[in-house]
Chains A and B, each alone.
Chain A
Amino acid sequence: SQKIEQNSEALNIQEGKTATLTCNYTNYSPAYLQWYRQDPGRGPVFLLLIRENEKEKRKERLKVTFDTTLKQSLFHITASQPADSATYLCALEGGSQGNLIFGKGTKLSVKP
Chain B
Amino acid sequence: NAGVTQTPKFQVLKTGQSMTLQCAQDMNHEYMSWYRQDPGMGLRLIHYSVGAGITDQGEVPNGYNVSRSTTEDFPLRLLSAAPSQTSVYFCASSYEFRNSGEQFFGPGTRLTVL
Point out residues on A near B: beta carbons under 8 Å: 31-32, 34, 36, 41-46, 49, 89, 91, 93, 95, 97-105
Contact = CB atoms under 8 A, between A and B. Distances in A.
Interface of B: 4, 33, 35, 40-45, 48, 56, 58-59, 90, 92, 97-100, 102-108
B43 A99 contact: no
Contact of A104 (B4, B41, B99, B100): B41
Given A103-B42, A104-B40, A98 B90 contact: no
B105 A49 contact: no
Contacts of B105: 43-45
Nearest to B90: A43
A48 B4 CA distance: 19
Contacts, number: 62
Contacts of A100: 45, 99, 103
Contact of B58 (A36, A46, A99): A99
B99 A42 contact: no
A89 B42 contact: yes
A16 to B, nearest CB: 29
A33 B40 CA distance: 21
A78 to B, nearest CB: 22
A43 B108 contact: yes
Contacts of B56: 97
B42 A105 contact: yes
